[in-house]
């Protein structure tokens, strides 16, 4: 049976989903599960919760815990699959820093985990940790698959694929729910007759086709979207679809900060018009912390705890590799001729076939040019962020921020450089020394 190592096991609810799924999968139910984290309390909470699920599933899995960096190599030793869900610097202090320092320059954000100045610095403090993981993996589990769930997806997955020899795929939630969420929001049924095709980059992939029994649904989708007049949470995505022709996979609050059109100090009325929730991610973090304080004891001390298999890709990928029964996923992989009008160094999100031989991505060809153009604006920043992490040169940080669509639309070059310097100082030891 395989060994599954979960990096960042203190992410208890997510660990419950991925590892609970694994324990409910016949091909994985007798796995050795290695839980790794640097927080003793959260590690123990996750262990207690998963042991309860395991007992109620016949105690088939073997669950081990590994605390702190000195034990990391042993947690990884002999692993077949490594699931990554770390958050370097957590909400306090690093997420707070990502939001509060830019505010001093008048730069407002919504999520700040993928692009924008917050996404850049989240990548810069996370890539070094993941490169440490890769060095251990190359020594003690060189054939393992690294299943990355941590954001910023493209920058982190790209760093692993370009700077290490570790087999890596990036996984997200947006692709699975994109088409169904769009149709449900417009009062259109989502059934077995609906077929769709999605490709692009993570959090800015495109619903290229959507049909029901061979009939194109886009004309009716666009008609209903234009007729919707009440305030709702999809307004940015509808506007993008109206102007560029296609629906984007990730939420409005995300995409509001991936482009230069929506969060603008000169046009404050746009925030209300498009229902954009500024500072949304800090609110979610606070809410999640409060909810865990309220519900954590119930989850971690419930001897009758059970689990229902979720839609997270991880267990399905591992099952397909173990059984050779293929599945299709939306995976984040290097663009080796897959989307032909995007850079080859970019990480793209495309349909992939998974079986015992590994992960085989689908060749898409050219995206509609306007969609590729939007993707490139994000890719520019992602590639320069990786270059900054690789070289430890400040100039690449400045250039990544200068090319970021939202940051560059709001700030001057001098202010961008000053903001980056302030963020480097505020992060302190959470980042390596840049020169």
d(C-alpha 276, C-alpha 233), whole Å? 8
Percent composition of the chain: helix, strand, coil (DSSP 3-state, to 5):
50, 15, 35
Q: Is the peptide bond before 253 cis (omega within 30 degrees of 0)?
A: no
Q: Do 53 and 20 contact (CB within 8 A), yes or no?
A: yes
DSSP one-letter string for 74-100: HHHTT-SEEEE---TTIIIIIIHHHHH
Closest-CA residue to 199 (of 217, 219, 175): 175
Query: How open is the CA angle 95-16-197, to the nearest 5 degrees?
Result: 80
406 is catalytic: no
Which DSSP state fits 104? T
Burial of 412 (0-12, 13-18, 19+ CB in 10 A): exposed
Q: Which helix (H) or strand (E) holds 67?
A: strand 62-67
Distances from the Cα of 115 to the Cα of 179, 310, 379, 380, 405, angstroms: 23, 28, 10, 11, 9
The radius of gyration of the chain from alpha carbons, rounded to an integer in Å, stands at 21
* DSSP reduced 3-state for 339: strand
Query: How open is the CA angle 8-152-258, to the nearest 5 degrees?
Result: 150
Residue tagged 């009062």 (tokens): 187
Backbone torsions φ then ψ of 344, nearest 5 degrees: -70, -25
**Which pair of tokens denotes residue 155?**
């920058």
Determine which one of 47, 173, 254, 311 is catalytic: 173
d(C-alpha 274, C-alpha 395), whole Å? 35
Supply the residues annotated as catalytic: 173
């Amino acid at each position: 049976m395989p060994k599954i190592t979960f990096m960042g096991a203190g992410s208890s609810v997510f660990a419950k989903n991925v590892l609970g799924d694994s324990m409910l999968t016949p091909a994985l139910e007798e796995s050795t599960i290695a839980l790794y984290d640097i927080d003793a309390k959260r590690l123990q909470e996750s262990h207690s919760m998963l042991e309860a699920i395991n007992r109620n599933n016949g105690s088939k899995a073997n669950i081990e815990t590994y605390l702190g960096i000195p034990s990391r190599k042993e947690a990884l030793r002999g692993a077949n699959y490594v699931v990554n869900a770390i958050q370097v610097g957590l909400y306090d202090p690093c997420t707070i820093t990502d939001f509060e320092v830019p505010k001093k320059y008048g730069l407002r954000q919504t999520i700040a985990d993928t692009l924008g100045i917050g996404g850049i610095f989240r990548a810069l403090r996370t890539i070094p940790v993941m490169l440490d993981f890769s060095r251990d993996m190359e020594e003690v589990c060189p054939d393992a698959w690294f299943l990355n769930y941590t954001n910023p997806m493209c920058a982190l997955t790209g760093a692993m694929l370009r700077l290490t020899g570790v087999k890596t795929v990036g996984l997200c939630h947006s692709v699975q729910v994109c088409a169904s969420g769009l149709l449900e929001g417009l009062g259109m049924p989502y059934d077995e007759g609906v077929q769709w095709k999605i490709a692009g980059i993570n959090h800015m992939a495109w619903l290229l086709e959507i049909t029901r029994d061979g009939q194109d649904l886009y004309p009716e989708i666009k008609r209903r979207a234009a007729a919707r007049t009440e305030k709702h949470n999809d307004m940015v995505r509808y506007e993008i679809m109206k102007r560029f022709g296609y629906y984007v996979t990730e939420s409005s609050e995300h995409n509001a900060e991936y482009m230069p059109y929506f969060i603008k100090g000169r046009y404050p009325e746009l925030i209300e018009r498009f229902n954009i929730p500024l500072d949304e991610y800090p609110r979610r973090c606070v809410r999640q912390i409060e909810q865990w304080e309220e519900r954590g004891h119930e989850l971690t001390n419930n001897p009758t705890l059970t689990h229902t298999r979720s839609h997270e890709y991880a267990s399905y990928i591992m099952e397909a590799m173990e059984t050779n029964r293929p599945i299709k996923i939306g995976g984040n992989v290097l663009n080796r001729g897959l989307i032909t009008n995007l850079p080859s160094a970019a990480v793209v999100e495309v349909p992939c076939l998974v079986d015992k031989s590994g992960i085989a991505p689908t060749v898409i060809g050219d995206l509609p040019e306007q969609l590729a153009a939007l993707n490139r604006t994000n890719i520019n920043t992602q590639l320069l962020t990786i270059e900054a992490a690789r070289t430890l040169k400040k100039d690449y940080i400045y250039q990544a921020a200068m090319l970021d669509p939202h940051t560059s639309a709001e700030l001057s070059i001098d202010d961008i450089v000053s903001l980056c310097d302030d963020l480097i100082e505020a992060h302190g030891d959470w980042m390596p020394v840049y020169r």
